[in-house]
Structure 1
């Protein structure tokens, strides 16, 4: 058996280094999509053009890159697209969120759930129930209100106005001006903090914390929420849960290739 200090290990190290360089060039092609010239690619990866060209030829031969005969620019090939699609198929929000929700439930011993936007509004699709907890608002399939639940308000904050218009109009019809202003205050709080805490808003004696989950392109794909009885989910515990939940939501988003968009890219609620 050889180790990395022996002459026999040198070829192996060279192969590893070559693979790392090739992956770096492949990533650069993705970042410079849809296509780029050899000179721009070489500048981007800070390598001599002749060296980049050798790797590009190998990528072309393997189907991971293509060259446009019209302008000689390079782009990702069919094999790269197949790998990308396979990776995307694994980034299902439920599949990605479930392990994190289990871990957070175990850490806090509070009920944690994931909701997605359904045809009737915020819909609970996954629940990790706290031990000994009984609640009526976190059953799988439950549809939560848009303007009177922590989960719903996060959807209202980050979804487009077109997507939520019908539900918002229906729910706001019974609210007075002061209540609508209070909702706008909640939305601005969510925008500035990325997490929303409420006390007994949807149901008396039930507190909740919610945070958004984003996928590639910073598209909102779900909202994660921690909910518990106000008698045990006190201010201090809720503040801790908010911190943990935000960290978890950011980690899930990063795993799915997204992040919370800046304020400038969100819609105006005024």
Structure 2
């Protein structure tokens, strides 16, 4: 039997013991020994031996009255240190190439900047229809998927001036494809939150469909938006379809890696 050269020798007992920490991390609260051992797939006696060592390292604590186990201060320090070192945009950029190969359309990343949702990364497949957008462009809140997505998740006071200006401009231009009142805006943003993504068709650029899906950090704040757009003739515009489905799955994985537990 051949051994995968990428497989490196490790310490199996460390990997086994980690399953206890992982079980505590996924639990809704402190666990009794028997429940923790069951969740980690080992006997209570075996789990107890690991827990004794973990308590010495302060990775685990045991409540004296309830005898339940929970993650300790050392686990918290490690988690916080890892979160501080995470760069959401860097992690997202590392995944763009594989996602674009799966979806086959232009992908972008956007963050909330000083002037609103701002494009910070942009990649197009070779056969993509050129879209007249550039890095650093600030996206409108009402007519772009990116703007709608951010507007649905950032504080109201952050978007109030932009919304007022965009609604006034849309009224002057006689646009009927955009929300005309705050009530309509709030209904549209609630729909974005319920669906988990925003979509526009022909509202920002003629013949172009766009999706934007939020990525959340450990505090539940929107860290960035993952955007995909393409021509209506070849772009699957359905929620849960060949574009939005993989895009949403990628955003969910990234959110999880950033510590979001929603």
TM-score, structure 1 length as denominator?
A: 0.70
Is the 2:209–2:235 Cα contact (8 Å) retained in structure 1? no
**Which residue of 1 is the match for residue 237 of structure 2?**
238
**Deviation by residue 1:220-264 (Cα, 9 ceiling, x = unmatched):** 211111122x3xx326533332233223222322333336x5xxx
Question: Following TM superposition, by how much is the alpha carbon of 1:151 offset from its aligned partner in structure 2, in angstroms?
Answer: 0.4
Question: Following TM superposition, by how much is the alpha carbon of 1:94 offset from its aligned partner in structure 2, in angstroms?
Answer: 1.3
Residue 123 of structure 2 corresponds to residue 128 of structure 1:
yes
Q: Which runs of 5+ in 1 are unaligned?
A: 1-11, 262-270
Provide the aligned C-alpha RMSD in A. Answer: 3.7
- Secondary structure of the 2:212 match is strand
**Which residue of 1 is the match for residue 137 of structure 2?**
142
For structure 1, which segment, 86-95 or 68-77, has the greater mean C-alpha deviation from structure 2 after superposition? 68-77
Q: 1:236 to 1:68 in 2, by over 3 A?
A: closer
Q: Which runs of 5+ in 2 are unaligned?
A: 1-8, 172-177
Question: Following TM superposition, by how much is the alpha carbon of 1:149 offset from its aligned partner in structure 2, in angstroms?
Answer: 1.1
Is the 1:214–1:221 Cα contact (8 Å) retained in structure 2? yes
Distance 1:148 1:42 in 2: 54
Is the 2:91–2:254 Cα contact (8 Å) retained in structure 1? yes
**Which residue of 2 is the match for residue 97 of structure 1?**
92
TM-score, structure 2 length as denominator?
A: 0.71
Q: 1:191 to 1:81 in 2, by over 3 A?
A: closer
Aligned residues between the structures: 240
Distance 1:85 1:178 in 2: 41
**Which residue of 1 is the match for residue 33 of structure 2?**
42
**Which residue of 1 is the match for residue 205 of structure 2?**
203
- Secondary structure of the 1:179 match is coil
Q: 1:52 to 1:97 in 2, by over 3 A?
A: same
